[in-house]
């Protein structure tokens, strides 16, 4: 394991421990505040496709955020894990069956339409003030974003986290995707492109 990967693993562990230590009721309140911020600050055309995620463990609960965006005309989708390297985004439709995706999360059934999101709400373990992120280590989002970009699409990337997940500096790796916006309980932060 390279030195930067070892450091990322340690930063991930520390940031997730801080997130896990947050009061569960406070996390709910913060998630609801973040939903209001998203509703007010994330502009899009009606019918735009927004990918969210089903929260696991102590993650920000983005379900209120997704429903607030749906009320403003967004078409929603969630990641579906196809194999050890690939996720696609399946449409989230009211009343449609949800299935276990592993990792303690669920997603739309395989009959749901696969969509290419224009806006991606991205879960993360840690981030820094430059918009560099640490995911959970499997690289699903890095590969999904690269696949969309290879197809000529440039989705708006918005990381979702609590302030306590910020670290001094995420080690740079060539394959990393920089997230130009992060939404926390303090609001929507935008980072300058390098």
Q: Where are the beta strands (DSSP E) in the chain?
A: 49-51, 75-81, 87-91, 98-102, 105-108, 114-115, 119-123, 126-127, 133-134, 156-160, 181-184, 187-190
- Average pLDDT of every residue of the chain: 92
Token pair of 85, please? 């390297």
Strands 105-108 vs 126-127: parallel, antiparallel or unpaired: unpaired
Identify the pLDDT of residue 189. 95
Q: Detail the residues annotated as belonging to a binding site for ATP.
A: 8-12, 133-141
- Any residues with CB less than 8 A from the CB of 17 and at least 6 apart, and which? none
Q: How many CB atoms lie within 10 A of CB 6?
A: 11
More confident residue, 153 or 107: 153
Identify the pLDDT of residue 132. 93
Domain 3-190 homologous superfamily, CATH: NagB/RpiA/CoA transferase-like (3.40.50.10420)
Inform me whether the pLDDT recorded for 87 exceeds 70: yes
The average pLDDT across 90-106 equals 81
Domain ranges of the chain: 3-190
The tens digit of pLDDT for each residue in 48-58 reads 999 999 998 99
Q: In degrees rounded to 5, what are phi and psi of residue 36?
A: -65, -40
Identify the pLDDT of residue 194. 56
Whether residue 154 contacts residue 146, with contact meaning beta carbons closer than 8 Å, is answered with no
For the whole model, what pTM was predicted?
Answer: 0.94
Distance CA 55, CA 105 (A): 7
Q: Detail the residues annotated as belonging to a binding site.
A: 8-12, 59, 133-141
The DSSP code for 145 is H
The average pLDDT across 73-87 equals 90
Q: Detail the residues annotated as belonging to a binding site for substrate.
A: 59
Please, which pLDDT band fits residue 103 given cuts at 50, 70 and 90? low
Distance CA 119, CA 185 (A): 19
Inform me whether the pLDDT recorded for 193 exceeds 70: no
């Amino acid at each position: 394991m390279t030195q930067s990967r070892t450091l990322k693993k340690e930063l991930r562990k520390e940031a997730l421990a801080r997130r896990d230590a947050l009061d569960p009721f406070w996390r709910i309140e913060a998630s609801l505040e973040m939903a209001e911020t998203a509703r007010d600050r994330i502009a899009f055309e009606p019918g735009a496709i927004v990918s969210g995620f089903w929260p696991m463990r102590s993650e920000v609960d983005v379900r209120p955020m997704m429903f607030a965006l749906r009320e403003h005309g967004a078409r929603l989708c969630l990641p579906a894990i196809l194999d050890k390297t690939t996720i696609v985004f399946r449409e989230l439709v009211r009343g449609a069956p949800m299935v276990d995706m592993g990792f303690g999360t669920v997603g739309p059934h395989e009959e749901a339409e696969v969509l290419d999101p224009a806006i991606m709400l991205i879960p993360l373990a840690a981030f820094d003030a430059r918009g560099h992120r640490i995911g959970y280590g499997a690289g699903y989002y890095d590969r999904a974003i690269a696949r969309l970009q290879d197809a000529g699409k440039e989705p708006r990337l918005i990381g979702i986290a609590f302030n306590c997940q910020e670290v001094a500096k995420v080690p740079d790796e060539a394959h990393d995707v920089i997230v130009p916006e992060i939404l926390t309980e303090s609001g929507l932060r935008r980072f300058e492109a390098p």
